[in-house]
Amino acid sequence: MLVDRGLARIGRSLELSPQLAAATDCRDADGLFQVARLLLITAPPAWLRLAVSRDGVTREYIPASDLDSLRWLEPNLDRLLIEAHEHAYSSAETEWQKQIGDAAELFVLAALRHSGLKPVHVARISDVYGYDIEVRDPRTERIEVKAAGPRTARTFHLSRNEFDKSQQHGDEWRLLQVIFESSAFVAEELNQSHVEGVYEIDSHQLRRIVPPDSPRFFWEESALITPPEEAWRRSHLALDPEFTIPGFRSA
């Protein structure tokens, strides 16, 4: 395990990495604490991303068996998890978010196919469309898909291009947000049971929320948008009960 994580190598004998050697030089409990920190950084558990946020640690997202195994690190467990999260994911957050976003798109595509439609995954063609999925039956629908977990529900990042296209296409454009249950982030396989729900907001509601451009305000790349709860409605889209995909992998 130590070799796989780059913490040791096998020569004529087992040679510890400088980080692990320094940790083992520490005395007693502090040495064990530093070893645990290194192990969490080099091979973070899947739940670490979900359990740690800028607001701190939410222990409800840590599997009970793992939490029991980590209790010997009290009262410094939260501090250790926050530090491990910062070191492990500072450069990998984009890939993780892409995995979640891709999964949300696949759930929506499967649901549309399950309902008898033939959606086109235009996001795979180009970002220029300003939405992810197009359906013609015969009315054209242009669907932008966003993903969220329990803490980020009903909040999303929107690019300037996505917003402009929402206004250009009007009634044809809508945004669907797939909200995953916390269990989804540690599951080996995802299915309908890992989705809390699918909610939507239309282009007209979006226009009411986003401030208009002015000589003093203009956004170019993207914005974090949190619509009021009344702007959302639960989507009538029914998920495919047979659809499954592999679980999220630690980046």
Instruction: Calculate ∠ Cα 78-79-85, nearest 5°.
Output: 90
DSSP label at 202? E
Distances (CA, A) of 206 to 39, 105, 108, 143, 241: 44, 20, 21, 14, 31
Within 10 Å of residue 46's Cβ, how many Cβ atoms? Answer: 16
Phi, psi of 142, rounded to the nearest 5 degrees: -120, 115
pLDDT band at 175 (very low <50, low <70, confident <90, very high): very high
Position 49 scores a pLDDT of: 81
* The two three-digit tokens of residue 172, written as one number: 């044809």
Mean pLDDT in residue range 18-40: 58
Query: How many whole angstroms separate alpha carbon 245 and alpha carbon 112?
Result: 16
Distances (CA, A) of 57 to 48, 72, 151: 9, 17, 12
**Residue with more model confidence, 66 or 28:** 66
Domain boundaries, the chain: 8-89, 93-246
Position 178 scores a pLDDT of: 98
Residue listed under structure tokens 């970002």: 127
Residue listed under structure tokens 């296409």: 169
pLDDT band at 3 (very low <50, low <70, confident <90, very high): very low
Which range, of 80-94, 142-156, 183-197, averages the lowest pLDDT?
Answer: 80-94
Mean pLDDT of the chain: 84
Position 94 scores a pLDDT of: 67
Render pLDDT for 112-168 as a digit per residue (tens, 0 to 9): 999 999 999 999 888 889 999 999 988 899 999 999 998 889 999 999 999 999 999
Within 10 Å of residue 208's Cβ, how many Cβ atoms? Answer: 9
**Residue with more model confidence, 100 or 4:** 100
* The two three-digit tokens of residue 169, written as one number: 């296409």
Position 111 scores a pLDDT of: 98
Which range, of 9-13, 43-47, 152-156, averages the lowest pLDDT?
Answer: 9-13
What number does CATH give the domain 93-246?
3.40.1350.10
Question: Helical H runs in 54-191?
Answer: 64-70, 77-89, 93-114, 160-169
Query: How many whole angstroms separate alpha carbon 174 and alpha carbon 97?
Result: 21
Residues 96, 149: contact at Cβ < 8 Å?
no
Beta bridge partners of 179: 148, 197
Position 241 scores a pLDDT of: 97
pLDDT band at 242 (very low <50, low <70, confident <90, very high): very high
pLDDT band at 24 (very low <50, low <70, confident <90, very high): very low
* The two three-digit tokens of residue 109, written as one number: 């595509």
Nearest residue to 155 (alpha-carbon basis) of 232, 54, 234, 225: 225
Mean pLDDT in residue range 86-108: 82
Distances (CA, A) of 127 to 55, 89, 130, 131, 222: 32, 26, 6, 8, 14
Position 23 scores a pLDDT of: 40
Position 203 scores a pLDDT of: 96
Assess whether pLDDT exceeds 60 at residue 1. Answer: no
pTM for this predicted structure:
0.68
Assess whether pLDDT exceeds 90 at residue 181. Answer: yes
Assess whether pLDDT exceeds 90 at residue 96. Answer: no
Cis amide prior to 150 (ω within 30 degrees): no
Distances (CA, A) of 158 to 4, 91, 97, 143, 182: 39, 21, 14, 13, 23
Query: How many whole angstroms separate alpha carbon 219 and alpha carbon 211?
Result: 10
Position 83 scores a pLDDT of: 85
